[in-house]
Amino acid sequence: MMTGRHTEQMSETEATGVEREELTIDQIARQAELPVSTVRMYQNKGLLAPPTKRGRVGYYATAHQDRLRLIAHLQTRGFSLAAIKEALDSWNAGQSLDHLLGVGSVAPSLERSPIRLTPAELVARFDGVGISQAEIQRAGKLGLLQIDGAEVVVEHEAFIDAGAAVAKMGVPVSEVLDEYEALGAAVDEIADRFRSVFERHMWQPFVGGELNASEIAELRDRVLQLTDLATSVVTVELHDRFAEFAADYIERVPPAS
C-alpha cells in the first residue's frame, strides 16, 4: 500500500528486504503500453491515485502498476471508465471487486481467512502426527501458506485445520497434500465447465458495448446466482457420494451376534 511518504517507503524496504519499484510517468506509461496523457486522464478521473512527489518529479509504485493492469483487464471485459470508477469506489469503500461482481458472496465458513503463525505454532496444529519441513515447503508451493520473515502466513486457516484433522485420523500429511492438489485440479475443471456455460449462454447480452451501472448489477446478479447454484449442486452431490460409500462400508461390517 502506498504511504505517500518516502521515509515510510524506505523503512518498509529496510524491514522487508524488498526494494519498492518506483517509476516516472513516462516509465509507467511505457510499461503499461499507454500514452502519458491516458495515465494523467486516469488520475484526473480518480481511477489512479496521484504519484508520490519528490521535488518536481512524481514516482509511481507497484500499486499504480497493479491498478493500471486492473483497469486494462476490466476494459477488455467491456466495462466503461465510468463503470470501472464505480467499481473502484466501491472497492475503496471496503467492498472487493469480487463483491461487486457477486463472486464474493459465499458463506462465511467458506471465506478465506489468512492468519499468521510462528513455525512452532504451525507445527503445533499437527500435534501428535507431525509435519516435516519438506511438507511445509510443498504446502507453500500449493499456495496453502507462505513464509514471511519469521512467520508463516496461512492463506486459509480452515484448510490447515481440516488437513491436520484428516492427518490425525490416520492419513499421512504427504497424502493429505496429494489429495489437496488433486482436489484443486478437480475444482478447476468444474469451475471451467460452469464458466463455459456462463460465457455461452449468459455473457453474450453484455458483449459489444459499454456497461452502465444497472447492467453491471444485472451481470453481478447472474454471476451470483450461478455461483450459488453451482456451489449448492456440488455440495449436495459430494455429500451424497460420501453417504453412499459410508453405507457401503457399514454394510461390510458383520452384524452383532
Q: Which of the listed CATH numbers 1.25.40.10, 1.10.1660.10, 1.10.10.10, 3.20.20.70 matches domain 6-76? A: 1.10.1660.10
Residues 6 or more apart whose Cβ sits within 8 Å of residue 2: 49, 52, 61, 63, 64
Q: Are 155 and 112 in contact (CB under 8 A)?
A: yes
Torsion sign (Cα): 103, 107, 109, 114: positive
Angle, vertex CA 154, rays to CA 153 and CA 158, nearest 5: 160
- What are phi and psi for residue 100, nearest 5 degrees? -60, -40
Question: What is the Cα–Cα distance from 153 to 137, expressed in whole angstroms?
Answer: 13
Residues 6 or more apart whose Cβ sits within 8 Å of residue 247: none
Q: pLDDT at position 36, please?
A: 92
Q: pLDDT at position 104, please?
A: 44
Q: Are 52 and 6 in contact (CB under 8 A)?
A: yes
Model-wide pTM > 0.75? no
At 126 the three-state DSSP class reads: coil
pLDDT at 8 over 50: no
pLDDT band of 221, cuts 50, 70, 90: confident
Greater model confidence, 76 or 189: 189
Name the residue ranges covered by the structural domains of the chain. Answer: 6-76, 107-201
Q: Quick check: do 6-76 and 107-201 share a fold?
A: yes
pLDDT band of 255, cuts 50, 70, 90: low
Question: What is the Cα–Cα distance from 10 to 60, expressed in whole angstroms?
Answer: 15
Give CB contacts under 8 A, 24+ apart, made by 141-149: 142/177, 142/180, 142/181, 142/184, 144/180, 148/116, 149/16
| DSSP string across 85-114 | HHHHHHHHTT--HHHHHTTT---GGGS---
Q: pLDDT at position 232, please?
A: 83
Residues 75-126: pLDDT tens digits?
A: 776 677 887 787 777 666 655 555 555 444 444 444 566 889 999 999 999 9
What CATH class is the domain 107-201? mainly alpha
Host H or E run for residue 6: helix 6-16
